[in-house]
């Protein structure tokens, strides 16, 4: 056990650059990623609180004036990553992408505050961080939910963090690929192309991105004009939880929490409109094409993490979750294995992801302790047996994607060392 804890720490430190940490030390992701940094900060908080706060501060240094925190910050511009900083052509102070990722910082910060002794300088720093996170959440509320529905939209599959999930297949099929599209991907040269998205998917990702760029990423325009606009269950669950945690933080630091509190009320109420009583499942909504999306994605169970104030629904979710992986040795598969879109190896279309297990484990802790412990133990087991890889086969545990993957190491530390 000790070996693995030391290895996890070493993995994070090995991926650390100046004030931020790469998702992995190979060439696949040579920049700072938004939600990766959140998980990574939580990992650092078990052995170096200053590194944890620095990770978050560096990410927030890239915050745009309107409040958005980009999904990628290109601190180092000399890499062969695509789309690189010139392909995005935007950023405030730091070159960045022009879209965002799941907002987990409030949740992470609350976790960190709960278990650490904080000195005065750190407290002052944390107050500044909270104000920036608040601005980020207000940006979501203002620009990603202009009709005030209590639920926010993502405007590119990459914003979800589960980039090529089958959740996006229908809305993506509607995207007309730009004529004469030209670009050079690097991801499928670094890892096995069977594990990565298909070229046709990539063409569409780039088409959506180029359109956002044409609109100069203007938050007032993109909601309406993006080729992709989806209200996703998983994403909104993470946002709801983050809003709840943000209220706690604002309260603790004597900051105004009214706006976020009101938004939480609207979310709690309107989430239920995404529930299909007959099928007993939640669906995401393709706003662009006015269609419901029913895909048995593990991300739908992030609702447990959101702590929806509805015991009946939570019970149904748990019952369904217990049926998500009846046959597989390792869980949770990102997509239910009997679904037609399931692929054992292609990323986000089947494999087990440590962060998904982590969200669900956390969500279940106060609802089904036995089951949550089982998830925790199984997740720890796979990491100790196979190493800190990016994702794993649910059939045989085969590790895939990048090795020395930061969030796998960081969340291992939390699963192992969190005493709460």
For position 36 contacting ligand GLC by CB under 6 A, the verdict is yes
Q: Specify the length of the chain in residues.
A: 420
Alpha carbons 116 and 119: distance in angstroms, whole number: 10
**Can you tell me which of 29, 74, 302, 361 binds ligand GLC, judged by CB under 6 A?**
29
Alpha carbons 62 and 70: distance in angstroms, whole number: 7
- The one catalytic residue in 61, 163, 178, 344 is 163
Any catalytic annotation for residue 390? yes
* 231 within 8 A of 214, measured Cβ to Cβ: no
User: Least Å distance between CB 408 and ligand GLC?
Assistant: 10
User: Least Å distance between CB 29 and ligand GLC?
Assistant: 5
State both tokens at 143.
């620009």
Q: Report the Cα–Cα distance between both ends of the chain, in Å, rounded.
A: 19
User: Least Å distance between CB 97 and ligand GLC?
Assistant: 11
- Region from 31-39, 55-63, 178-186, 239-247 binding ligand GLC, contact rule CB under 6 A: 31-39
Tell me whether residue 136 or residue 263 sits nearer to ligand GLC (CB atom): 136
Three-state DSSP string of 160-224: HCCCCCHHHHHHHHCCCCCCCCCCCCCHHHHCCHHHCCCHHHHHHHHHHHHHHHHCCCCHHHHHH
User: Least Å distance between CB 102 and ligand GLC?
Assistant: 8
Tell me the residue nearest to ligand GLC as measured from the CB: 23
Stretch 145-164 residues interacting with ligand GLC (CB under 6 A): 161, 163
Number of amino acids touching ligand GLC (CB under 6 A) = 7
349 class by beta-carbon count within 10 Å (0-12 exposed, 13-18 middle, 19+ buried): buried
User: Least Å distance between CB 221 and ligand GLC?
Assistant: 25
Tell me whether residue 55 or residue 368 sits nearer to ligand GLC (CB atom): 55
Tell me whether residue 318 or residue 402 sits nearer to ligand GLC (CB atom): 402
Alpha carbons 38 and 294: distance in angstroms, whole number: 29
- Region from 28-36, 114-122, 128-136, 250-258 binding ligand GLC, contact rule CB under 6 A: 28-36
Task: Mention every residue, 6+ apart, whose C-beta is less than 8 A from residue 105.
Answer: 38, 56, 59, 60, 69, 129, 133, 136, 242
Tell me whether residue 368 or residue 390 sits nearer to ligand GLC (CB atom): 390
- Region from 32-40, 112-120, 176-184, 217-225 binding ligand GLC, contact rule CB under 6 A: 32-40
Tell me whether residue 80 or residue 225 sits nearer to ligand GLC (CB atom): 80
Place of tokens 């669950």: 237
**Can you tell me which of 21, 23, 58, 303 binds ligand GLC, judged by CB under 6 A?**
23
Alpha carbons 295 and 288: distance in angstroms, whole number: 18
Is the dihedral angle over the CA atoms 41, 43, 46, 48 positive or is it negative? negative
Alpha carbons 15 and 26: distance in angstroms, whole number: 9
Report the SS3 class of residue 152: coil
For position 178 contacting ligand GLC by CB under 6 A, the verdict is no
Q: Rounded to whole angstroms, what are the CA distances from 375 to 38, 300, 354, 404?
A: 21, 17, 10, 22
For position 20 contacting ligand GLC by CB under 6 A, the verdict is no
For position 66 contacting ligand GLC by CB under 6 A, the verdict is no
Alpha carbons 259 and 246: distance in angstroms, whole number: 11
- The one catalytic residue in 36, 111, 390, 414 is 390
**Can you tell me which of 9, 11, 32, 35 binds ligand GLC, judged by CB under 6 A?**
35
Any catalytic annotation for residue 159? no
Which residues of this chain interact with ligand GLC, rule CB under 6 A? Answer: 23, 29, 33, 35-36, 161, 163
Active site residues: 163, 390
């Amino acid at each position: 056990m000790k070996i693995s804890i030391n290895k996890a720490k070493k993995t994070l430190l090995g991926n650390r650059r100046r004030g931020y940490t790469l998702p992995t030390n190979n060439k696949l992701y040579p920049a700072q990623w938004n939600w990766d940094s959140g998980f990574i900060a939580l990992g650092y908080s078990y052995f170096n609180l200053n590194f944890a706060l620095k990770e978050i501060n560096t990410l927030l240094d890239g915050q745009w004036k309107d409040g958005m925190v980009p999904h990628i910050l290109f601190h180092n511009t000399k890499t062969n990553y695509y789309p690189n900083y010139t392909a995005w052509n935007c950023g405030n102070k730091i070159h960045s992408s022009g879209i965002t990722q799941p907002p987990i910082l409030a949740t992470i910060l609350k976790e960190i505050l709960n278990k650490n002794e904080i000195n005065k300088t750190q407290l002052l720093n944390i107050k500044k961080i909270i104000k920036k996170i608040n601005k980020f959440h207000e940006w979501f509320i203002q620009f990603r939910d202009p009709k005030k529905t209590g639920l926010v939209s993502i405007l590119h599959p990459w914003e979800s963090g589960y980039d090529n999930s089958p959740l996006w297949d229908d809305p993506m099929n509607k995207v007309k690929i730009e004529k004469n599209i030209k670009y050079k991907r690097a991801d499928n040269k670094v890892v096995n192309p069977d594990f990565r998205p298909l070229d046709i998917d990539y063409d569409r990702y780039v088409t959506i991105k180029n359109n956002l760029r044409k609109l100069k990423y203007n938050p007032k325009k993109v909601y309406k004009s993006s080729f992709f606009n989806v209200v996703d269950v998983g994403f909104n669950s993470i946002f709801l939880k983050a809003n709840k945690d943000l209220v706690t933080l604002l309260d603790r630091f004597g900051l105004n929490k009214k706006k976020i509190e009101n938004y939480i009320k609207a979310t709690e109420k309107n989430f239920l409109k995404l529930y299909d009583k007959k099928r007993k499942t939640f669906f995401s909504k393709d706003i662009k094409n006015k269609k419901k999306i029913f895909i048995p994605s593990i991300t739908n169970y992030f609702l447990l993490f959101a702590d929806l104030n509805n015991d009946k629904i939570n019970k149904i979710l748990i019952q369904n979750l217990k049926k998500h992986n009846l046959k597989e040795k390792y869980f949770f598969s990102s997509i239910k294995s009997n679904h037609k879109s399931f692929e054992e190896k292609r990323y986000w279309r089947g494999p087990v992801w440590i962060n998904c297990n982590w969200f669900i484990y956390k969500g279940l802790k106060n609802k089904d302790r036995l089951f949550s412990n089982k998830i925790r133990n199984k997740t720890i087991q796979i990491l100790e047996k196979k190493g800190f890889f990016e994702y794993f086969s649910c059939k045989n545990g085969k590790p895939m994607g990048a090795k020395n993957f930061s969030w796998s190491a960081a969340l291992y530390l939390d699963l192992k060392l969190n005493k709460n």
